[in-house]
A and B are shown apart, each in its own frame.
Chain A
Amino acid sequence: MDQDRRTFLGQTGRLLVLTASAGVAWEHVLAGRPEEAPNYRATDHWWAMSIDIETCIGCGNCVRACKTENDVPREPQTFRTWVERYTVDPADLEHPKVESPDGGYGGFHELEVRNPDLKSFFVPKLCNHCAHSPCVQVCPVGATFESQDGVVLVDREYCLGCSYCIQACPYGCRFIDPRTHTVDKCNFCYHRITRGLTTACCETCPTGTRVLADLKDPKDPIHAFLRDHKVQVLKPQMATGSKVFYNGLDGSVR
């Protein structure tokens, strides 16, 4: 009887320990936060993105993937990433024609008038994860912040929904999620990149236009990309330390 009780207690104990560790491990697997992902060290990374305008075909895969992956509402029209099409008279950079129907979700119709004198190209946009973010600066409670690995994040549990950060963002990257009444924006698919995956938009880009990059990784192709191309960020005059680098960015792009 004693022997039986000891066996029973031993087995139960082992079962409890195993279940608990499996639970903890599973939590790590599912975790989106670095402190819950033991193999991910935030200080080892400095995330950025390269976008090659020369190769973007405006298919909208990135917009659709982002909406699905991050549960971004379809209505009202809000976007963590979107694509714009510019049609520019090369001699008049100040008056580009820009369109982004449904944020480029369904791709773009072919241009109605094919004028050989005009140039046309697509510009995918998303949060620039600025190193000196104006949005982070103005948040009254620090609900939006720069993580140690260079990603600008929003704590939904803490956000007041005051919209001051939306006013402060020069790029129009932020919006209020009508379901949570808190602000939302691209977070470089933080739940994916902390688990060694790339972002949903980069994953589904058929032309390799968008590439997630780790500036702290010496082997990352971003270094060659930045060295070998004429690279620009959006609105450099804003001095926000943007980390989304564009190759082939036209002067007309706002």
Chain B
Amino acid sequence: MPGVEGFIYPNELELQWSVLIVLYPFITGLVAGAFILASLERVFNVEAVKPTYRLALLTALAFLLVAPLPLQLHLGHPERSLEMYLTPHTQSAMAMFGFVYLWYLMVVLVLEIWLDYRRDIVLRWRASSGLVKHLYGAMALWSDDISDAALSLDDRIGRALTVIGIPSAFLLHGYVGFIFGSIKANPWWSTPLMPIVFLFSAIVSGIACILLLYFVTCWFRRVAVDMACVDTIAKYLYYAFIVDFSLEMLDLIHRLYEADESFRALDFMVKTRLFTSQIVLQIIVGTLVPLGLLAATQLVALREQTRRVLYVIAGSLTLIGIFAMRWNVVIGGQLFSKSFLGYTSYKMQFATREGLLPAIVLMILPFVILWVLIRLLPPWGHDDRASRTRPRP
């Protein structure tokens, strides 16, 4: 059979989860990471990252809105997907994920953004006319109380929400890891480290994404990059990346040393079919190089311009590396037979329901949503408000 090597069970010929399922953990990872970066400013009062606070929240929302779409496209019967909420099977990690997602979207993210933007929304409602006025009125839920007392209450609730939001963001992406890590039939996935590896890689990808988006928005707005801000973000990226890389290496070394019954199949796969995506893209290009660049910015006194270039390169490579990691988990986990005696291959199609084209569209869509959100709720020019209304500890 073409693309098959050795023996695979006859039903294993077709890969079940395509590039769309690669997008799903990648996108939810960006959400969780972006939110955790935003919460640094809110909860831990890291002043330096303030310029990215609202941008991070809006980015998280834009990606979270797109997160279920690849799953919907993948389902054989998307019209039945609501059953996951109406008649969920409580033992299923996938069913429970639906509720984690809804909790995170509605209770944490939407509410936090709304509270943070309520004053701006009301001011725009008052200042606009026609359809736009109705739109902002609806967004304000037709409540225009922006007295100091009301704003102070908003801020207190928002702060409490962020405190709930951090474990929720951990839960969101840790849970995605659990969906894979709890499958005992698949040794490539089945490890208790999976949720924690997913979580840290999510933080890494989210921070890298916001770092890059901040550069892009500054460039579009023709404003100077706040170096204190990007230096701080890059520092967090570096630390989170070290933890993430250590966990992934721990997993790898553990597998190498233990060398259980599945090891030969997995080892062969990494050396052949996954060599480019795992060794080259994920580990070398996507991890070691950006880690080296970030380490250089931490250890050596470099000029601002050099640091900016290094941050952009490191951030871009990081995103490539994390995407490769998701690819290697999802696709890699299906390339070997559960008999451990053979391998199949993944042939990505282009303009099919689960092909490359919808994957590209789904990766562009969050940026379109983000653009709309930024137009509706500009994330900049609010520093005066923050210092005025936010109680300082």
Given contacts A160-B76, A162-B71, A182-B76, 18 further A-B contacts (CB under 8 A): A82-B10, A98-B341, A100-B9, A134-B183, A140-B94, A140-B95, A141-B92, A158-B83, A159-B80, A160-B77, A160-B80, A161-B76, A166-B16, A167-B186, A169-B185, A172-B9, A174-B11, A254-B341
- Pick the most buried of B16, B17, B83, B184: most chain A CB atoms within 10 A of its CB: B16
Residue B255, interface by CB 8 Å: no
CB distance from B72 to the nearest CB of A (A): 10
* Pair B95/A141 contact, Cβ less than 8 Å: yes
Residue A107, interface by CB 8 Å: no
Residues of B within 8 A of A160 (CB): 75-78, 80-81, 83-84
Residue A53, interface by CB 8 Å: no
* Pair B10/A79 contact, Cβ less than 8 Å: yes
CB distance from A178 to the nearest CB of B (A): 9
Chain B residue at minimum C-beta to C-beta distance from A183: B76
**Which residues A176-204 have CB closer than 8 A to chain B?**
176, 180-182
| Contacts known (A99-B7, A134-B185); A164 close to B338, Cβ less than 8 A | no
* Pair B84/A140 contact, Cβ less than 8 Å: yes
* Pair B10/A141 contact, Cβ less than 8 Å: no
* Pair A141/B93 contact, Cβ less than 8 Å: no
The residues of B with any CB-CB pair to A shorter than 8 Å are 7-14, 16-17, 71, 74-78, 80-81, 83-84, 87-89, 91-95, 98, 183-186, 264, 333-334, 337-341
Complex A-B: 30 CB contacts under 8 Å: A77-B11, A78-B11, A82-B9, A84-B7, A98-B341, A100-B7, A134-B184, A134-B185, A139-B92, A140-B84, A140-B88, A141-B80, A141-B87, A141-B88, A142-B87, A160-B77, A160-B80, A160-B81, A162-B74, A166-B11, A166-B16, A167-B16, A167-B334, A170-B338, A172-B11, A172-B12, A173-B11, A176-B14, A176-B16, A238-B184
Residues of B within 8 A of A162 (CB): 71, 74-76, 94
Chain B residue at minimum C-beta to C-beta distance from A97: B7
- Once bound together, how far apart are the Cα atoms of A102 and B10, in whole Å? 8
Residue A116, interface by CB 8 Å: no
| Contacts known (A96-B341, A98-B341, A167-B16); A175 close to B11, Cβ less than 8 A | yes
* Pair A78/B10 contact, Cβ less than 8 Å: yes
Q: How many residues of A contact B (CB 8 A)?
A: 45
- Once bound together, how far apart are the Cα atoms of A167 and B330, in whole Å? 11
CB distance from A114 to the nearest CB of B (A): 21
Q: Mark A125-159, 1 if CB is under 8 A from B, else 0.
A: 10000000010011111100000000000000011
Residue A60, interface by CB 8 Å: no
| Contacts known (A167-B183, A168-B185); A140 close to B89, Cβ less than 8 A | yes
